[in-house]
């Protein structure tokens, strides 16, 4: 029985580590670096927070596609030909969003580290 507890603990640890490890092939930038990129018309800026969070505070030029709707809306709203820059509140949901976009076939993805919490 104790053996099962170790296996369960190991699975939980692996689950959380996978969420923290950056996605292979996804670039990570700081909010300072983001400021320099906001004027680039060849990039698509996506905020994956909820509509309420987005309405409360967002960066001009970002489109709100909540994480829960990303799988269904990405191909309608985003081009695979352009870089996708993803932000959320802390950087966790945008990291998940980067993984979702990767699975959907997007190849040029950038995650904003620290999210809106790091934005001044």
Per-residue confidence in pLDDT tens, the chain, 120 aa: 688 888 888 888 877 666 666 567 899 999 999 999 999 999 999 999 999 999 999 999 999 999 999 999 999 999 999 999 999 999 999 999 999 999 999 999 999 999 999 997
Q: Kindly report the pTM of this predicted structure.
A: 0.81
- Residues 94, 62: Cα–Cα separation, whole Å: 13
User: How many whole angstroms separate alpha carbon 58 and alpha carbon 54?
Assistant: 5
> Which of the residues are catalytic?
88
The sheet carrying 26-29 orders its strands as 26-29, 109-112, 83-87, 43-47, 63-64
CB atoms within 10 A of CB 78: 18
């Amino acid at each position: 029985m104790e053996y099962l507890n170790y296996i369960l603990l190991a699975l939980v640890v692996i689950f959380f580590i996978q969420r923290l490890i950056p996605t292979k092939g996804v670039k990570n930038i700081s909010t300072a670096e983001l400021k320099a990129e906001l004027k680039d018309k060849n990039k698509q800026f996506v905020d994956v927070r909820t509509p309420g969070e987005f309405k409360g505070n967002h960066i001009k030029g970002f489109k709100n596609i909540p994480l829960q709707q990303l799988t269904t809306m990405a191909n309608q709203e985003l081009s695979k030909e352009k870089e996708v820059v993803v932000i959320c509140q802390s950087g966790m949901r945008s990291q998940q969003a980067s993984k979702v976009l990767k699975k959907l076939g997007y190849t040029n993805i950038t995650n904003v580290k620290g999210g809106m919490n790091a934005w001044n």
